[in-house]
Structure 1
């Protein structure tokens, strides 16, 4: 707040200095001499909205600070260094609420765990309960890892074409996580086969082959395509499919370009604050007398510009 306004507010009974040029921004009550509170709030909301709007524009021009801002004096001084880069020409895409994403993740873990419980129950001493405890552990690791590392981090790191280091890092994260998840699901499938072999061996009175059940990872590594039962194959297909769904939900959890959704949310919040300030000013009987006031006109115009901005630059 300007110094003159602060001094004025510290002197409740004082009249404003007519030479301070405050009449363009505020309205004084002729009886009390106090600044109109509605206009004060509107002025603050307008300033915040303008700042958030400019931040979003800069984010779009620079692709999240990935390239220099061509509107700055340092950059525009040398025309030959300006890259031929188009700004982001779409609105941010992100859900208003994440409840659906969390519900889908919970459903994936629960459904895969219940389905795998049947596959693991064959060789478990605890039957279906023991199989479910094993299955839910595998399912939770499979779904959450795919969601977070592949979808939410890896794919989004690769979405910004002007951040090469992020793209390389994202590709590495996706590749390593995919290999790890394939190994996890393949090991789980082989484990299911070994459990059945274990149960069959015990039923036949033998015990010499049962030790192999303790090393399903090595069994999967030695014979990746050697699944011996339909149940094991179904377990592998189910696990990889649910991992792919979880990765997709991670990718759509927020906008593909990191930081874009955050900049847009800040502008939306600032716009909501501006709307509330305009509504409050419209209800003020003193402000109603100033329909042509510059601050009111500017705030209304800015609000329209922000609403168009939020629809995407192609619409502005």
Structure 2
């Protein structure tokens, strides 16, 4: 900001000595003069315009900035929002609660529908027992994968001796054989499971299909043995020799490694069929409908937990919101009060600047009189006496906003005295509303379970 200049700076800026010399030559100032001279007007204009004017402008700018900052506070609004927390709770919870209730109703309907499907399935198929199946299929499929790889590695050893590509060729041939065994095992398990169906036609067809798959599996295993034996004779015509030998003398296998390879395939086929069969309940379709029912049963229980958790999340958000409002309110009050103190300090400094300006003017007058007396070799004239009263017309700072905010400060202090109590009441209101919502959700769940037959009264 602009400060009061030093006396030497003002003397130099006004060129007082040159003015004195000029005035003396012109015969002024007279001792009994009563009118302002041009030099007097220059001194007055310098002090009022160049000093007081600039200081006033800067001080007023500072006051206006503080006023603008204070005008941005919303202490009353924040305080009122904390008092009217119920409306904020309803606004936050209303939409979320409607969504939670809708989700609970849909979950109850889906669970009820799949329970009905399960009961209908049991009634149609004459089932009175629970479905027997493993909860996770991961372990079973892991075992199946391990069996396939192990069979491939073992058969690759037996097939590598007669293969053109050695171990690599034997591995690919063994892998193809293992995949065929995997497919046969899947069909065998499917056929065996459908043999337990109560429908006679379906049961008969499944028995015939099972016999066909078993027969095909035996033929394939024998063919693998004949192919292994034919590789020892002629790798280039092994397939043709194996087919001819299988058709003429199916059991005429003389190579021990071929028999070992057949036993490995039979064991792998049996294990794969067993794993495919036990991965689901023995009655076809019973596992699928039971899994759907249990998944929706779990989803129904989780939906209620999610609803309660959703309400708790809303409550946590409201607690954080209230804490943030309370923190913001206190911070704004501190800033508001500090801004008023700074504005009062600015006003006080301006009054001090006026005193300093008057002192500066007095010093300029005395310097002019002293220098004039030395030049004229007589008593100094009464130069500048009339200027002593010109400072009464200097601009005043506009403190209208400050006065209003000083009155607001007393009101804000009363609000801050009530803030702790209002904050505690708001937290209690949020917690109470949360308990009411949780109780209503519990009652809704009980009603939905009774209405949809999910439990007995």
- 1:163 is the counterpart of 2:199: yes
Describe the shift of the 1:231–1:94 C-alpha distance in structure 2 as closer, same or farther (beyond 3 A): same
Describe the shift of the 1:299–1:186 C-alpha distance in structure 2 as closer, same or farther (beyond 3 A): same
Number of the residue aligned with 2:127: 88
Task: Measure how far apart 1:302 and its partner are.
Answer: 8.5
Q: Distance in 2 between matches of 1:34 and 1:212?
A: 78
Describe the shift of the 1:215–1:300 C-alpha distance in structure 2 as closer, same or farther (beyond 3 A): same
Describe the shift of the 1:302–1:281 C-alpha distance in structure 2 as closer, same or farther (beyond 3 A): farther
Matched ranges for 1:55-74 at <5 A: 55-63=117-125
TM-score normalized by structure 2? 0.48
- 1:42 is the counterpart of 2:80: no
Number of the residue aligned with 1:223: 249
Q: Distance in 1 between matches of 2:121 and 2:187?
A: 25
Higher RCO (Cα < 8 Å, 6 or more apart): 2
Matched ranges for 1:51-200 at <5 A: 51-63=113-125, 87-146=126-185, 148-151=186-189, 153-160=190-197, 162-198=198-234
TM-score normalized by structure 1? 0.67
Q: CA RMSD in A?
A: 3.1
Secondary structure at 2:234 match in 1: helix
Describe the shift of the 1:88–1:302 C-alpha distance in structure 2 as closer, same or farther (beyond 3 A): farther
Q: Distance in 2 between matches of 1:260 and 1:185?
A: 33
Describe the shift of the 1:55–1:190 C-alpha distance in structure 2 as closer, same or farther (beyond 3 A): same
Number of the residue aligned with 1:237: 263
Q: Distance in 2 between matches of 1:219 and 1:261?
A: 44
Task: Measure how far apart 1:289 and its partner are.
Answer: 4.2
Q: Distance in 2 between matches of 1:291 and 1:102?
A: 41
Number of the residue aligned with 2:438: 288
Task: Measure how far apart 1:121 and its partner are.
Answer: 2.0
**259, 269, 283: which one aligns with 2:285:** 259
Number of the residue aligned with 1:298: 447
Of Structure 1 and Structure 2, which has the larger fraction of its residues in helix? 2
Q: Distance in 2 between matches of 1:41 and 1:263?
A: 22
Paired positions, count: 242
Structure 1 gaps, min length 5: 1-28, 64-86, 200-209, 309-316
Q: Distance in 2 between matches of 1:31 and 1:123?
A: 81
Number of the residue aligned with 2:240: 214
Secondary structure at 1:92 match in 2: coil
Task: Measure how far apart 1:104 and its partner are.
Answer: 2.1
Q: Distance in 1 between matches of 2:114 and 2:192?
A: 27
Q: Distance in 2 between matches of 1:30 and 1:122?
A: 80
